[in-house]
Structure 1
Amino acid sequence: MRLFTLLVLLCCSGNPLMAQSPTVEALTAYPFPSELRASATGNRVVLAINQQGRRNLYAAEGPSFVLRKLTAYDADFGDEITGVQLSADGKWVVFVKGGDHGAYNGSTPRNPASLPAPPKVQVWSVPFEGGAPVLLGDGDEPAIAPGDDRVAFLRDGQVWISPIGGSEKPEPLFYARGENGSLQWSPDGRSLAFVSARGDHSFIGVYHGDDRRVQWIVPAFAYDSSPSWSPDGKRLAFVRRNSSGGLPDSILAPVKNPWSIWTADVAGGVGSRVWQSPQTPQGAVPTTHGGTNLRWAGKNRITFVSYHDGWPHLYSIPETGGAALLLTPGDFMVEHITLSPDKMWLLASANTGPDGDDIDRRHLIRVPVDQPAMEVLTPGTGIETFPTVTGDGAHVVFFSATATRPTLPAIVDWPGTGKAARLLGEALIPDALKNAAQVVPKRVEFKAPDGETVYGQLFEPKGGAAKKPAIVFIHGGPQRQMLLGWHYGDYYANTYALNQYLVSRGFVVLAVNYRLGIGYGYDFHKPLFAGRYGASEYQDIKAAGEWLAALPQVDASRIGVYGGSYGGYLTALALGKDSDLFAAGVDIHGVHNYIGRIPPVSAEPAPDAERAIALARDASPVSYVGTWRSPVLLIHGDHDGNVDFQQSIDLVRRLQQHDVPHETLVIPDETHHWMLYKHQVLVDQAVADFLEKHLIEQKNQ
């Protein structure tokens, strides 16, 4: 445990804000829970918790639900724990160690600790009651067969099988061309549905264990995905989209990507379409958590998420087809969706509730699968996410945070008892973090130049100078939303901690939720001429800086900016286009050059290809190096699976050629997500030190 440092009163500096300022180590010492699972029967649950890089499994069982450490991985090698599964009877936990599952290819081995042995991504199992983990084999994305002691998993795009206890070596289950995935066992465990992705098309397949054959379900010139078994195991529902091809369409027009729900009788192989999304941009496949979230529920209903009314909402249809019933009407979004064990209820987290600020929070909701009778289960000022119902249907387990307490697992009796939720594992929060001073951010709104409303959370220090330096924080994604509390995503829990640290150093911090982000409806999420095709969202970043500059408590000459990933891209754009407004910035693994990423003009070009290329040039930070004057710190790990390291190499060279003041921090073998805790602390401290040097120390000299 890292010690919380109580700084002595700095009478010589004259800055009361430094009197009890927490360290970066104290604020980033939060335990981060993930991978919450419940057994299909009984009341057993398991989850993964990352404690400053020490990633382990924890188990709990009713009625006490006391957290118990299940594994003993007490060194930080930066190897993830993902793919956690709990057998139906609750006797076995299966999980994956290694990889970077926030990257485009999560199964790629990563080695952020620069260990001399080659890294691996492997499937393991461990008894729920405790014991040494057992290696099942190299692979990823495990799926435990119901009612049986077998685990299917993926290796090099093929499906393998292993006894859950590792009593025999794994072996290939079958061969199917393409990259196979989305493994879904039938309720009786005798058949396995999967998706075979083949580049420009994909099929739904079913492997039948009784006669060891692969069956293709209604194959077509299409992308088929998201197989879901009917409760009786006789039918499959799946999503179908158009395959690529056809006459080149406009690049800049709103994208229309309609999709449909199909069902098929597995024995007969006959299928039919039971629902079609509208032929509108809003009718495209949702790009929020879980996509369509297709599930074959109870009461002969199929449930899913669609954006076609302007918000990502839950819908259901009869399994035989018909009009979609909107289950969650209102101006809010749903995500983290699950189905109760009896398949009669949908649970989710949503940015809605009785408080006007709930649009910048998450609360748990539940709704019957066949009627729009939604309830908000956890009103208040907290952040509640990832609900999971225990197999006996008696409890809801979820993740809970507040503005000043990081995320912890929590449990509440199935709604109706009136009992309050209780936290699990409070002792995992170090005293240094419990005692660290934190501020409660305030929700704010302001206007961009084109009249679009921009949203944000304002963090303000108490006391100090009348005119304070300020920071605009830009989240990544861009399909994310910063909240009025500790975030449910690990990358953004870290930036929330960093924003609290910056406040402790005397900065006013504005976390800006710019267009392209989630939480504020389709038009905000999918604006025209955004990203590489015009960067219309940059208006929101500039507006955030100008809004800060107009605050009476802010020194308009000392406004900085920082962000990672897409936030790094917008940081670079801000410094290149508006050095007069943004006096310094930190660009963390951002994209800097969209030129060349646009479909080229060819013998059969898109009608607006040339304009798209011109807009990409205007949207690229490298186009503004000539007007870039503010100092910048560039940070990048060179095994980044999300943004090419070359993007920063190219920008650094251009900054050198134009004599732009810059510093760099390169972390060999590290990924996009700071897998090693010491690297996370290194990066956070570097961000704070650079901004403090250029916006506070130079002012005081």
Structure 2
Amino acid sequence: MTKFRLSFLFVMIFAATAVAQDKKPIEFEHLLDGTFSPQTVQNVRWMNDGQFYSATRDNKVIKYDIIDGTETVLFDGNEYSLSNGSTPFPVQGYQFSADESKLLLKTEVEQIWRRSTRENYYVYDIETGTLTKLTATDEKQQYAELSPQGDKAAYVRNNNLFWVDLTSGEEVQITDDGEFNKIINGAADWVYEEEFGFAKAWFWSPQGDQIAFYRFNEERVKEFFMTDWDGLYPEPIRFKYPKAGEKNSVVSIHVYDLDNGDIITIDVGDETDQYIPRINWTRDNELLAIRRMNRLQNRQDLLFANVRTGSTDLILTEQSDTWLDVHDDLYFLENGVQFITTSDRDGYNHIYLYSMEGELVKQVTSGEWDVTNFIGHDDRNYRLYYISSESSPLERNLYSVRVDGRRKEMLTNGKGWHSINMSRDFKYYIDTSSDYNQPPRISLHRQDGRQIRVLESNETLAARLNEFSFIEKEFMTVDVNGVSLNTYMLKPVNFDSTQTYPMLMYVYGGPGSQTVTKAFESGIRPMWHQYLTNQGYIVVSVDNRGTGGRGRDFKKQIYKKLGQYETEDQIAVAESLADLPYVDEDRIGIWGWSYGGYMSSLSLADGADVFKAAIAVAPVTDWKFYDTIYTERFMQTPQLNPKGYRNGSPLVKAGQIKGNYLLIHGTGDDNVHFQNTVEMIDALVESDVDFETMIYPNRNHGIYGGNTRRHLYLLMNKFILENL
């Protein structure tokens, strides 16, 4: 029997769950009707004059005075029409020109994959009120962006890169070899977009006279296809998707000169089976920074490229026994001779200062905690700003420190979860803060932390939560498998410790993730958990080994063993909590989505004597079906690590499943392919395992659209109520 220890973070254990009888119950419809949705401040952009910022509201672009909150409407989409005559003009994104006299407006956005879109763009002259379509073509563009000087814009169309002179309207085509499923210029291929987190793959130089861009040659990548089930005759949707161990695109980096039309190819080495996860312009208009990784992602090189000759110099190399994470933490100081980056080389993710020659100048932060977000460096005051887990892995706070590591200050209040949007001159920041029982509070602050005013208090939602039987989380640690795991528990409404209750565990559990935090949650999933507490269920979530916020070794011990330690931890915690007098050990279930669906499937197989039921939504069922970058980062290739792939495969263990199993997937899932569920169904049938399944035609990994989400949660709710 595993040892069990609870460390409650409440003065009275029962205080958070003892709900008065006169509280309103949370009904199922509350999951979807917005009753518990917080108000937000959207699309904030800091302006040149540090006294102002802008945001969108009510289909308008509005300029705000930081000090007194005075509003000036810069563009009202309700007063303008699209070129096709439809009114109003939907504002779906905006940018300022350098002098802030013009707006580049994005509208009619068409989603492609997770981050990729195509849309129409318009230029709005604020002084004259003139609205002009960016290009004369009827075809939509991708990733349009104004030059630093604001007199030009560049964009992608049909896998080629273009730029347009805003004064004359003349369009110049930069590349001409773009072709569907073959060559992509200036946009990412599917796997880079999904796993390296960017879709726009081109960048203006500081002076706006050059464009650095990616070129993806997808010819050797195998096609995957899904079926579009609309229409009398369903049609295939084909795209290049490299599965683990298969061939990737050949990626090259190029720089285009707008003055002479020349394109320089940058030397990134002779190896083509590698990754270029990031490129960044330095402060030098002639110098491009390139980060290069090997296929196994355990070595990363920082190269500096001369954009006139294409030659590169190796500046810095980092290696790992496991894997290296890709991040955006690369900042070039105004002095031109130093840069800042982050690394977990000492066991925790920290900030380092280097010379431009790659020599370490200073480890700026240190300690047994992670810097989770490097915000930037104020070159005037020699102070940098970052968010970290120093107060607790469950919390995030904003800090500032001198670049020499001295005079560190916590700028937020040390409680809960803080997200920061800082002005470009570092004089102000917007803090979106919440706690597990307090909805987001959005406030404006000076750089030293002093509050100027509250932008959104969400007091109405806070009062509403108090009217309903909203259950606060109880945080605890559970000691299993030689490690202490962070856990939260939601107890049923009117909890009685002398009674026993069924328990549902929610799991994600993937590398670097966290579900156990003090951030406020109010989406459909957390509100479903609240609904279940109103139906007499205990809801629990555990951050197993491999999750984030606790340093390199805690996260990376799962290397080459995905699904093994994580499943052991979920099962062991379930066994431990089953010893509590109020948990019905015969009615314990688990559910998850994506990696969580993978985990719930493994848990039901390996923990058949512990779990009575499991729901797996859009699960990976064998890592050989998933993409190269994500899978090989943690597992190497199937050829190098066959044992790891086999031991972490729900397909291999399908015959071990004994409990009630609900398998759900969308046929239009471009990320975790429906193939995973098809193969799992086949394995379950072959092993004569009883199960239930639900297929959502043409729905992607998020399984939404129309009535889909309501149907999905009603289905899962019915399954839990009937089987747990």
Identify the TM-score tier after normalising by the shorter chain: 0.7 to 0.9
**In 2, Cα distance between equivalents of 1:27 and 1:58:** 27
Does residue 257 (structure 1) correspond to residue 321 (structure 2)? The answer is no
Stretch of structure 1 that moved more, 338-347 or 124-133: 124-133
Specify the alignment match of 1:332 in structure 2. Answer: 369
Query: Does 1:377 find its partner at 2:406?
Result: no
- Give me the TM-score of the superposition, normalised by structure 1: 0.77
SS of the aligned residue for 1:470 comes to strand
Q: Spell out, residue by residue over 1:116-157, the C-alpha distance to the aligned partner (whole angstroms, 9 max, x if none).
A: xxxxx2153575979989576524333321122433223344
Unaligned runs of 5+ in 1: 1-14, 50-54, 74-79, 110-120, 245-254, 600-605, 696-701
1:520 to 1:557, Cα distance in 2 relative to 1, 3 A: same
**Where do 1:17-36 residues align within 5 Å?**
20-22=25-27, 23-25=30-32, 26=34, 29-31=37-39, 36=44
1:293 aligned residue (315, 329, 337): 329
Counterpart mapping for 1:60-71 below 5 A? 60-63=63-66, 64-65=68-69
| Alignment root-mean-square deviation, CA | 4.0
- Specify the alignment match of 1:517 in structure 2: 547
CA–CA distance in structure 2, aligned partners of residues 144 and 472 of structure 1: 48
Q: How far does residue 536 in structure 1 lie from its aligned partner after superposition?
A: 2.4
The correspondence of residues 1-80 of structure 1 with structure 2, limited to 5 A, is 20-22=25-27, 23-25=30-32, 26=34, 29-31=37-39, 36-46=44-54, 59-63=62-66, 64-65=68-69
- Residues 20, 651 of structure 1: alpha-carbon distance in 2 compared, 3 angstrom cutoff: same
One-letter amino acid of the counterpart of residue 208, structure 1: D
Q: Distance in 1 between matches of 2:149 and 2:719?
A: 56
Structure 2 Cα separation of the partners of residues 81 and 315 of structure 1: 40
Q: Say if 1:225 and 1:508 are closer, same or farther in 2 by CA, change over 3 A.
A: closer
Percent identity of paired positions between Structure 1 and Structure 2: 22
Counterpart residue type for residue 311 of structure 1: Y
Residue 389 (1) aligns with residue 389 (2): no
Counterpart for residue 193 of structure 2? none
Give the conservation status (yes or no) of the 8 Å contact 1:191–1:207. yes
CA distance in structure 2 between the partners assigned to 1:594 and 1:257 by the alignment: 19
CA drift of 1:568 comes to 0.3
Equivalence map 1:84-233=2 (5 Å): 85-90=95-100, 91-95=102-106, 97-99=109-111, 102=114, 106-107=115-116, 121-125=118-122, 127=124, 138-162=140-164, 168=169, 172-175=173-176, 178-181=184-187, 182-198=201-217, 199=248, 201-222=250-271, 223-233=275-285
- The change in CA–CA distance for 1:664 and 1:87 in structure 2 (over 3 A counts) is farther
* SS state at 1:286 partner: coil
Q: Which amino acid aligns with 1:445?
A: T
Q: Would the alpha carbon gap of residues 430 and 381 (structure 1) be closer, same or farther in structure 2, given more than 3 Å must change?
A: closer
Contact 1:292 1:306 in 2 (8 A): no
The answer to whether the Cα contact below 8 Å between 1:564 and 1:590 also exists between their aligned partners in 2 is yes
Matching residue's letter, 1:543: A
* Larger deviation, residues 666-675 vs 632-641: 666-675
* Whole-Å separation in 2 of the counterparts to 1:487 and 1:560: 24
User: In the alignment, does 2:381 pair up with 1:349?
Assistant: no
- Is the partner of 1:444 in helix, strand or coil? strand
Structure 1 stretch displaced more, 151-160 or 423-432: 423-432
- Once residues 132 and 374 of structure 1 are traced to their aligned partners in structure 2, the CA distance between those partners, rounded to angstroms, is 48
Measure, in 2, the Cα distance between the counterparts of 1:620 and 1:56: 48
Q: Distance in 2 between matches of 1:203 and 1:46?
A: 37
Letter in 2 for 1:21: I
Q: Distance in 1 between matches of 2:147 and 2:358?
A: 29
Decide whether aligned partners of structure 1 residues 608 and 341 sit closer, same or farther in structure 2, where only a CA change above 3 A counts: closer
- Assess, with a 3 A threshold, how the Cα gap between structure 1 residues 467 and 637 changes in structure 2: closer, same or farther: same
Name structure 2 gaps, 5 residues minimum: 1-19, 81-89, 178-182, 188-200, 218-247, 629-634
Q: CA offset at residue 538 of structure 1?
A: 0.9
Measured in 1, the distance between the counterparts of 2:685 and 2:173 equals: 53
Do the aligned residues in 1 keep the contact of 2:575 with 2:610 (CA within 8 Å)? yes
Q: 1:34 Cα shift?
A: 6.7
| 1:4 paired residue number | none
How many angstroms does 1:678 deviate by? Answer: 4.4
**Cα pair 1:394 1:414 within 8 Å, conserved:** yes
Change (3 A) 1:272 1:331: same
Structure 1 residues 325, 340: CA separation in 2 closer, same or farther (over 3 Å shift)? closer
Change (3 A) 1:551 1:100: farther
Find the aligned partners of 1:638 and 1:146 in 2 and give their Cα distance: 43
Match of 1:440 in 2: 472
Question: 1:47–1:84: 8 Å Cα contact kept in structure 2?
Answer: no
Q: Residue in 1 aligned with 2:590?
A: 561
User: Do the aligned partners of 2:24 and 2:468 also contact (CA within 8 Å) in 1?
Assistant: no
Q: In the TM superposition, what are the counterparts of 1:657-696 in structure 2 within 5 Å? A: 658=687, 660-676=689-705, 678-695=707-724
- Superposed CA offset, 1:521-550 (max 9, x none): 112222246555x62221111122113212
Cα distance in 1, alignment partners of residues 519 and 707 from structure 2: 21
Take 1:664 and 1:38, find their aligned partners in 2: how far apart are those partners? 48
**What is residue 364 of structure 1 aligned with on the other side?**
398
Task: Find the aligned partners of 1:563 and 1:293 in 2 and give their Cα distance.
Answer: 31
Deviation at 1:273, TM superposition (A): 2.5
| Kept after mapping to 1: 8 A contact 2:36/2:461 | no
Q: How far, CA to CA, are the matches of 1:425 and 1:434 in structure 2?
A: 15
Q: CA-to-partner distance for each residue in 1:601-649, whole Å, 9 max, x for gaps?
A: xxxxx99978933442332222333232221222222221220012122
Structure-2 separation of matches of 1:608 and 1:650: 20
Give 1:652's aligned residue. 681
Greater displacement, 142-151 / 25-34 = 25-34
> What is the aligned residue count?
622
Q: 2:603 aligns with which of 559, 571, 574?
A: 574
Which residue does 1:626 correspond to in 2?
655
The one-letter code of the counterpart of 1:231 is R
Partner letter of residue 501 of structure 1? Y
Residue matched to 1:115: none
